[in-house]
Homo-oligomer: A and B are copies of this chain.
Amino acid sequence: MSRRYEDLTGPELSTRITPSSILLLPIGAVEQHGPHLPLSVDHVIAHEVATAVVDLVGEELDVWQLPTMSFSKSNEHAWSAGTLYLSADTMMAVLTDIGRAAASTGAERLVLLNGHGGNTTHLGTALRELRLQFGLKTFLVHPSVPPAYGGSSTHHELGMGIHGGLDETSIFMYLRPEHVDLSKAQRKVPEALDRNEYVKFGGSVQFGWISNDFDAEGYIGDPTGASVERGKDLFEAAVALLSEQLGEIKTFDFGR
């Protein structure tokens, strides 16, 4: 049976969704990803991972998949014509509206599955805002934690597969091979940053950046070695990890 929230009728919704249900909101982006990847990367990944996770553990954990937010706060790519970004204020307003609706269902847990690194801090803030305003238990997970916010990236990329790099390109190749053109990809690693001890991605000093601060083409990492196989492994690992994370979320109650 469908586990998509939107496939319920209004009356069904009030019986099928209960305090123990988990609502899962995939969040993507429509933003430039360099010359080798289309704008859709982040929301395709978020959507596909969410769908696979719900297929796997939706019934068991009573998870309901909300419609994917296709575009979000991508203003680090505002310089790139056509990037479809929400401002910080608009993004928070949308999340607040979603939080209100989520709370109205009676479900107690809302999980944000974020495919776009640029949303990370703002979603982190939203976790508290939605908890405070609507009493929801709120969670933030990622298909893979963005390297700029503590996630890992390959040594080959000096840990800087931030945007359009090896792992992201590989996962997307696995999902939409026809939309990847590796012939256009180059190594775009800001090597000098690696010599920094503090001010770097994942370093103890966070810094504000927009995506053409490092290079005019606006991607960061080295996608040249991307492959479907690597993508498949990463995708499956993400799905497995998220399934376990949802299992823990299911009963989370602040250590009480």
Contacts and interface: CB of A to CB of B under 8 A. Distances in A.
A182 to B, nearest CB: 12
B197 A128 contact: no
Interface in A1-51: 2, 4-14, 17, 30, 32-40, 43
B38 A248 contact: no
A249 B85 CA distance: 26
A82 to B, nearest CB: 4
Interface residues of A, number: 107
Interface in A135-166: 136-142, 145, 150
A82 B207 contact: no
B6 A39 contact: yes
Contacts of A206: 124, 127, 139-140
Interface stretch (A53-61, A66-74, A224-232): A66-74
| Chain A interface, DSSP helix/strand/loop, else mixed | mixed
Q: Give the number of copies in the complex.
A: 6
Nearest to A119: B125
A93 B71 CA distance: 13
Contact of A70 (B7, B38, B67): B67
Contacts of A94: 86, 90, 94
A75 interface: yes
Nearest to A101: B84
A183 interface: no
Given A127-B207, A198-B244, A7 B82 contact: no
A186 interface: no
Given A199-B139, A252-B199, A9 B37 contact: yes
Nearest to A136: B208
A32 B7 contact: no
10 contacts: A10-B77, A17-B82, A81-B104, A84-B98, A86-B97, A128-B209, A136-B208, A199-B249, A205-B248, A213-B254
